[in-house]
Chain A
Amino acid sequence: MKLLLILPIILPLTTAAVGLLCWRSIRAQQVIGLLGAGGLLAAAGSLLHGVWQNGPMALQLGNWPAPFGITLAADLFSAIMVVLAALMGFTVALYSLATVDPRRVRYGYFCFYHFLLMGVCGVFLTGDLFNMYVWFEVMLMASFVLMALGGEKEQLEGAIKYVTLNLISSAVFLTGLGILYGMSGTLNMAHLATVLPQSEHPFMVTTVAMLFLVAFGIKSAVFPLFFWLPASYHTPPVAVSAIFAGLLTKVGVYSLMRVFTLLFMGDVAYTHTLILIIAGFTMVTGVLGAAAQGEFRRILSFHIISQVGYMIMGLGLFTPLALTGSVFYIMHHIVVKTNLFLVSGVARLLGGSYRLERLGGLSLSAPGLSLLFAVSAFSLAGIPPLSGFWAKLILIIASFKDASYLIAATALLVSLLTLFSMTKIWAAVFWGEPAVAADPQPLSGRRRAALYVPIILLALITVTIGLGTGPILTLAERTADQLIDPRAYIRAVLGSVQ
């Protein structure tokens, strides 16, 4: 039973290690990469099932009791994130078979891909802050390599920006960690949650909270710390962009939500209002930035920023309903955003470019793809009855209930502008004259399957979330309850000690 907690970490590790042993064999690496991702998905699914049935669980590695040893802990939020990571891991691995060139695979694409998944799952499952830092670094190392793998000019330049900013973010994180340890003598999150409220220096706790806000803010690309994202996400191969877009900023959002629901609850009026203000600015700048762009993946990159605003808006409002909205939004966003990147890759294969002005007429040559894009794009913009509509609706109702009309108005406006951006892509890429430069390479049947199956799968999930909102909403509600009242989590980690 408790094995489930460690599986999402050791499965990708095994996959990557076996991949390293099969260095240079392209076929073997592809098979191992896909099998590993499938296994991870199965493990993540059973983890979520277990947590849903039995409540939060914890595992003390090496049998050293918390708060002294290394703890892995999963409540519903962690489990949901692990499932989403595994789902994206699987679909994008499948997509990688068709889009990542053999040279990159030979240089270990799938190994680093699984190291990345291991880091991501590690962050979601760890129960202590220092290990969260370590997992962040595992994830970053892998993402650095994926970002630069292939060594094209643009890629290297994007990688430099990505690497430098992320290193600085890790540095700020570690600084906050050190001060927190000096103040409280523990880094176990559940233990901190019981110790920090009795701290003699509440203002120091708030200071540390700000350090964490900056560190995770850089990672989740909030205003005004997002500049590395649109400068780098469009440079690597599209499968890498897709997995980064789906998971990496959301790891930052997860960490923000974890520490600002569990640890830093001393001065909610200050910290969470600040988060709400940041959320508003993030939404607006992201969507305005997108409006100015003329490249498919850069538009999508800016939309990631704007969407992160919605996610932390729920955190800033900090009511059960708002947190439900945030969790729902994260689930919806990861699926939809990854899918849009996958679509952009296919459009590039068919039309020969990512530049909007060089694309056109895909609705005639690829009607199926147009439909799949429309599903995801309208969901992103929040058109009923797709998943994005419900996510935004919950958040906006929550902000009305909290009498935060300004943020509600901002969210509505931004959603309108998102629709504008999506129609811009639609008009340029799918309507109009077929591009002159278009020279579609003929796709073999298997390659076509590897391209379209992930996209269709994710589009179906979007539609399912939209039409069958009930169960997902219940899941999000229970998750939010656990976030608001973390006693079950703390009890799972610390045992009878309270």
Chain B
Amino acid sequence: MTSVILATATRYLMPMLLLFSAFLLFRGHNLPGGGFIGGLVAAATFILHSLVFGVGETRKILRVRPVKLMGLGLLIAMASGLVGVFTRAPFLTGKWYELVLGQGDKWHVGTPVFFDVGVYLVVIGATLIIILSLAEED
């Protein structure tokens, strides 16, 4: 059922889609976007891959089990909440720090970004678990 066009297109699309999902993830800090839809786009990328090359192949290129992505994401999200606790504020309080890179460039980092990264990983993991196991059934 694999068509050459789809297979070739997928090869070129996948990096771009993954890049786009990362773009959505980081843009979500101040603008529409965020971990949830970023994660969905990333998961959709892998699902597209599984449609073309089969689920087994997708699991191979994923390298980690989707379950572990979920575990990691939950831990990252929770750790981002704990930053607030360690600075004597309630759990999940947003904290921003400025990292000074060389030549006066400043990088504005906040805990919500890490929370979003956690969400991103959880969404990828959960979506892939559900859809890959459905796809494997038949």
Contact = CB atoms under 8 A, between A and B. Distances in A.
- A–B touching in complex (CB under 8 Å): yes
A47 to B, nearest CB: 14
A21 B91 contact: no
Nearest to B65: A23
B47 interface: no
B28 interface: no
B13 interface: no
A61 B91 contact: yes
B94 interface: yes
Contacts of B70: 17, 20
Q: Chain A at the B interface: mostly helix, strand, loop or mixed?
A: helix
A6 B78 CA distance: 11
Interface in B59-74: 65, 67-68, 70-72, 74
Interface in B65-94: 65, 67-68, 70-72, 74-75, 78, 81-82, 84-85, 89-94
B84 A62 contact: yes
Q: Pick the most buried of B65, B74, B85, B89: most chain A CB atoms within 10 A of its CB.
A: B74
Interface string A1-37: 0110010001001101111110100000000000000
Interface residues of A, number: 20
A59 interface: yes
Nearest to A9: B91
Contacts of B72: 17, 21
Interface size class for chain B? 10 to 19
A206 interface: no
Contacts, number: 55
Given A10-B78, A14-B78, A17-B78, A62 B92 contact: yes
Given A23-B68, A62-B84, A16 B92 contact: no
Given A59-B90, A60-B90, A62-B93, A19 B84 contact: no
A108 interface: yes
A108 B78 CA distance: 20
B91 A17 contact: no
A20 B90 contact: no
A54 interface: no
Contacts of A2: 90
A176 to B, nearest CB: 26
A108 B70 CA distance: 13
B71 to A, nearest CB: 3
A498 interface: no
A342 B89 CA distance: 42
Interface in A37-90: 59-63, 70
Contacts of B68: 20-21, 23
A63 B89 contact: yes
A108 B71 CA distance: 12
B91 A59 contact: yes
A63 B71 contact: no
Contacts of B74: 13, 16-17, 20
Interface string A240-255: 0000000000000000
Interface string B89-116: 1111110000000000000000000000
B45 to A, nearest CB: 22
Given A13-B78, A17-B74, A63-B89, 15 more contacts: A3-B85, A16-B71, A17-B70, A17-B72, A19-B71, A20-B67, A20-B70, A21-B68, A21-B71, A23-B65, A23-B68, A23-B71, A59-B91, A61-B91, A62-B91
Interface of A: 2-3, 6, 10, 13-14, 16-21, 23, 59-63, 70, 108
The 7 closest A-B CB pairs, nearest first, are A20-B71, A17-B74, A21-B71, A62-B92, A17-B71, A6-B91, A63-B93
5 contacts: A3-B91, A16-B74, A17-B72, A21-B71, A70-B92
